[in-house]
Amino acid sequence: MSRIGQKPVSLPDGVKVGIADRTITVEGPLGKLQWEHRPEMSVSYDKKTNTVNVARHDDQRQSRALHGLTRALIQNMVTGVSQGYERRLEIIGVGYVATVQNNQLELRVGYANELQKPIPPGLNVACPDQQHIVVRGIDKQLVGQFAAEVRALRKPEPYKGKGIRYYGEQVRRKQGKAMIK
Protein backbone atom coordinates (compact mmCIF):
# COMPACT_ATOMS: atom_id res chain seq x y z
CA MET A 1 0.00 0.00 0.00
CA SER A 2 1.12 3.50 -0.75
CA ARG A 3 1.68 5.35 2.51
CA ILE A 4 1.67 8.74 0.82
CA GLY A 5 -1.39 7.93 -1.30
CA GLN A 6 -3.44 6.97 1.77
CA LYS A 7 -2.73 10.23 3.56
CA PRO A 8 -5.55 12.76 3.11
CA VAL A 9 -4.70 16.22 1.76
CA SER A 10 -5.84 18.77 4.33
CA LEU A 11 -6.98 22.12 2.96
CA PRO A 12 -5.91 25.36 4.68
CA ASP A 13 -8.33 28.25 5.19
CA GLY A 14 -9.30 30.06 2.01
CA VAL A 15 -8.67 27.10 -0.33
CA LYS A 16 -11.61 25.59 -2.20
CA VAL A 17 -11.61 22.32 -4.16
CA GLY A 18 -13.98 21.33 -6.93
CA ILE A 19 -14.12 17.84 -8.41
CA ALA A 20 -16.04 17.26 -11.65
CA ASP A 21 -15.57 13.92 -13.44
CA ARG A 22 -11.77 13.57 -13.49
CA THR A 23 -10.97 17.29 -13.31
CA ILE A 24 -9.78 18.75 -10.02
CA THR A 25 -9.93 22.52 -9.54
CA VAL A 26 -8.11 24.11 -6.61
CA GLU A 27 -8.74 27.79 -5.92
CA GLY A 28 -6.97 29.87 -3.28
CA PRO A 29 -5.84 33.38 -2.43
CA LEU A 30 -2.96 33.29 -4.96
CA GLY A 31 -4.83 31.84 -7.94
CA LYS A 32 -6.53 28.85 -9.47
CA LEU A 33 -5.10 25.55 -10.75
CA GLN A 34 -6.79 22.77 -12.69
CA TRP A 35 -5.65 19.20 -13.36
CA GLU A 36 -7.16 16.06 -14.84
CA HIS A 37 -6.20 12.87 -13.00
CA ARG A 38 -5.84 9.39 -14.47
CA PRO A 39 -8.90 7.08 -14.70
CA GLU A 40 -7.21 4.48 -12.46
CA MET A 41 -7.63 6.82 -9.46
CA SER A 42 -10.71 8.16 -7.71
CA VAL A 43 -10.55 11.46 -5.87
CA SER A 44 -13.14 12.56 -3.31
CA TYR A 45 -13.66 15.64 -1.14
CA ASP A 46 -14.80 15.25 2.48
CA LYS A 47 -16.58 18.38 3.72
CA LYS A 48 -16.62 17.33 7.39
CA THR A 49 -12.83 17.06 7.73
CA ASN A 50 -12.09 19.51 4.88
CA THR A 51 -9.75 17.01 3.19
CA VAL A 52 -9.22 15.44 -0.24
CA ASN A 53 -8.80 11.65 -0.38
CA VAL A 54 -7.25 9.60 -3.19
CA ALA A 55 -8.13 5.92 -3.72
CA ARG A 56 -7.20 3.39 -6.36
CA HIS A 57 -9.50 0.81 -7.95
CA ASP A 58 -7.12 -2.16 -8.07
CA ASP A 59 -3.66 -3.33 -6.99
CA GLN A 60 -1.97 -3.37 -10.37
CA ARG A 61 1.56 -2.02 -10.62
CA GLN A 62 0.50 1.05 -12.65
CA SER A 63 -2.27 1.93 -10.18
CA ARG A 64 0.06 1.59 -7.19
CA ALA A 65 2.57 3.90 -8.87
CA LEU A 66 -0.06 6.52 -9.67
CA HIS A 67 -1.64 6.45 -6.20
CA GLY A 68 1.09 8.40 -4.39
CA LEU A 69 1.78 10.56 -7.45
CA THR A 70 -1.84 11.72 -7.66
CA ARG A 71 -1.93 12.62 -3.98
CA ALA A 72 1.42 14.47 -4.21
CA LEU A 73 0.27 16.50 -7.24
CA ILE A 74 -2.94 17.52 -5.45
CA GLN A 75 -0.89 18.52 -2.39
CA ASN A 76 1.40 20.62 -4.62
CA MET A 77 -1.63 22.36 -6.12
CA VAL A 78 -3.00 23.18 -2.64
CA THR A 79 0.38 24.49 -1.47
CA GLY A 80 0.78 26.53 -4.67
CA VAL A 81 -2.52 28.39 -4.41
CA SER A 82 -2.10 29.03 -0.67
CA GLN A 83 1.65 29.83 -0.32
CA GLY A 84 3.17 29.73 -3.81
CA TYR A 85 6.56 28.42 -4.90
CA GLU A 86 9.87 30.21 -5.31
CA ARG A 87 13.19 29.29 -6.92
CA ARG A 88 16.26 31.49 -6.52
CA LEU A 89 19.19 31.54 -8.94
CA GLU A 90 22.53 33.29 -8.57
CA ILE A 91 24.95 34.34 -11.27
CA ILE A 92 28.68 34.00 -10.63
CA GLY A 93 31.21 35.57 -13.00
CA VAL A 94 32.85 38.85 -13.87
CA GLY A 95 30.53 40.88 -16.09
CA TYR A 96 27.65 38.38 -15.81
CA VAL A 97 24.35 40.25 -15.29
CA ALA A 98 20.60 39.61 -15.50
CA THR A 99 17.70 42.01 -16.01
CA VAL A 100 13.96 41.71 -16.70
CA GLN A 101 12.55 43.88 -19.49
CA ASN A 102 9.37 43.61 -21.56
CA ASN A 103 8.36 40.23 -20.10
CA GLN A 104 11.77 38.76 -21.02
CA LEU A 105 14.72 37.73 -18.91
CA GLU A 106 17.88 39.18 -20.45
CA LEU A 107 21.18 37.56 -19.54
CA ARG A 108 24.75 38.56 -20.29
CA VAL A 109 26.75 35.50 -19.29
CA GLY A 110 29.93 35.53 -21.32
CA TYR A 111 28.60 34.84 -24.80
CA ALA A 112 29.01 37.22 -27.75
CA ASN A 113 25.25 37.92 -27.77
CA GLU A 114 22.85 38.73 -24.97
CA LEU A 115 20.53 35.79 -24.20
CA GLN A 116 16.81 36.51 -24.02
CA LYS A 117 14.40 34.07 -22.35
CA PRO A 118 10.66 34.85 -22.60
CA ILE A 119 8.86 34.57 -19.26
CA PRO A 120 5.86 32.21 -19.48
CA PRO A 121 2.45 33.43 -18.29
CA GLY A 122 1.73 32.51 -14.69
CA LEU A 123 5.27 33.23 -13.48
CA ASN A 124 6.67 36.28 -11.76
CA VAL A 125 10.40 36.72 -12.43
CA ALA A 126 12.36 39.44 -10.66
CA CYS A 127 15.99 40.49 -10.39
CA PRO A 128 16.58 42.13 -6.99
CA ASP A 129 20.11 42.85 -8.15
CA GLN A 130 22.16 41.96 -11.23
CA GLN A 131 23.52 38.73 -9.73
CA HIS A 132 20.26 37.16 -8.51
CA ILE A 133 17.07 35.91 -10.19
CA VAL A 134 13.89 35.04 -8.28
CA VAL A 135 11.22 32.91 -9.99
CA ARG A 136 7.80 32.81 -8.28
CA GLY A 137 4.52 31.15 -9.19
CA ILE A 138 1.71 28.87 -8.07
CA ASP A 139 2.53 25.93 -10.34
CA LYS A 140 5.47 23.98 -8.88
CA GLN A 141 6.28 22.26 -12.17
CA LEU A 142 6.31 25.53 -14.14
CA VAL A 143 8.53 27.31 -11.59
CA GLY A 144 11.04 24.45 -11.51
CA GLN A 145 11.05 24.00 -15.28
CA PHE A 146 11.73 27.69 -15.99
CA ALA A 147 14.50 27.83 -13.36
CA ALA A 148 16.11 24.71 -14.85
CA GLU A 149 15.95 26.19 -18.38
CA VAL A 150 17.59 29.43 -17.20
CA ARG A 151 20.31 27.46 -15.39
CA ALA A 152 20.93 25.37 -18.53
CA LEU A 153 21.76 28.53 -20.52
CA ARG A 154 25.10 28.73 -18.68
CA LYS A 155 25.72 25.84 -16.28
CA PRO A 156 28.35 26.41 -13.60
CA GLU A 157 31.70 25.16 -14.85
CA PRO A 158 33.95 23.12 -12.54
CA TYR A 159 37.23 25.08 -12.82
CA LYS A 160 36.31 28.62 -11.82
CA GLY A 161 32.67 28.05 -10.81
CA LYS A 162 31.36 30.66 -13.25
CA GLY A 163 27.77 30.36 -14.50
CA ILE A 164 24.18 30.28 -13.30
CA ARG A 165 23.42 28.10 -10.29
CA TYR A 166 20.61 27.55 -7.82
CA TYR A 167 20.94 29.61 -4.66
CA GLY A 168 23.07 27.65 -2.20
CA GLU A 169 24.10 24.99 -4.76
CA GLN A 170 27.57 23.58 -4.17
CA VAL A 171 29.55 23.22 -7.40
CA ARG A 172 32.17 20.50 -7.39
CA ARG A 173 35.45 22.16 -8.29
CA LYS A 174 38.36 20.62 -10.18
CA GLN A 175 41.99 21.47 -9.57
CA GLY A 176 43.07 22.36 -13.10
CA LYS A 177 46.55 21.88 -14.49
CA ALA A 178 49.35 21.15 -12.07
CA MET A 179 52.65 22.97 -12.42
CA ILE A 180 55.54 20.79 -13.60
CA LYS A 181 58.92 21.35 -11.90
Global pTM value: 0.89
Share of the chain above pLDDT 90, in %: 80
Domain containing residue 67: CATH number: 3.90.930.12
User: pLDDT of 156-177, one tens digit each?
Assistant: 999 998 999 999 989 898 888 8
Query: Are residue 109 and residue 147 in the same domain, yes or no?
Result: yes
Cα–Cα distance, 102 to 130 (Å, whole number):
17
User: Region 138-144: what's the mean pLDDT?
Assistant: 96
Q: Is residue 180 part of a domain?
A: no
78 and 90 assigned to the same domain: no
- Asked if 41 and 19 count as a contact pair (C-beta separation under 8 A), the reply is no
Query: What value does the mean pLDDT take over residues 37-44?
Result: 91
The verdict on 89 and 161 lying in the same domain is yes
Is the domain of 64 the same as that of 10? Answer: yes
- Residues 6+ away with beta carbon under 8 Å from 163: 91, 92, 93, 109, 154, 155, 156, 157
Tell me the mean pLDDT in the region 126-153. 95
Q: Could you give the angle at the alpha carbon of 152 between the alpha carbons of 116 and 165, nearest 5°?
A: 100
